[in-house]
Homo-oligomer: A and B are copies of this chain.
Amino acid sequence: MTTDTTVSTEEAPVRRSGHHGYVHGYSDTEALRLGDQADTLADLLHAGTAYPAGSLVLEAGCGVGAQTVHLLAASPGVRLTAADLSAESLAQARARVSAQAPAADVTWHHGDLHELPFPEGSFDHVFVCFVLEHLPDPVAGLAALRRVLRPGGTITVIEGDHGSAFFHPESRAARRTVDLLVRLQARAGGDGLLGRRLHPLLTAAGFAEVTVRPRTVYADGSRPALVEGFTLRTFVAMVEAVRAEALAAGLTSPEAFDLGLAELRRAAGPGGTFHYTFFKAVAVNP
Residue pair A275, B210 in contact (C-beta under 8 Å) = no
Residue pair A222, B200 in contact (C-beta under 8 Å) = no
Residue pair A196, B161 in contact (C-beta under 8 Å) = no
Give the copy number: 2
A221 to B211, CA, bound (A): 10
Residue pair A271, B221 in contact (C-beta under 8 Å) = no
Residue pair A203, B271 in contact (C-beta under 8 Å) = yes
Residue pair B161, A200 in contact (C-beta under 8 Å) = no
27 A-B pairs within 8 Å (CB atoms) are namely: A164-B164, A164-B275, A166-B193, A166-B196, A167-B196, A168-B200, A170-B193, A196-B275, A199-B220, A199-B221, A199-B222, A199-B271, A200-B220, A200-B271, A200-B272, A203-B271, A204-B271, A211-B222, A212-B220, A212-B222, A212-B273, A213-B218, A214-B218, A214-B275, A216-B216, A218-B279, A277-B277
- A contacts, CB < 8 Å to B: 161, 163-164, 166-168, 170, 193, 196-197, 199-200, 203-204, 210-214, 216, 218, 220-222, 271-273, 275, 277, 279
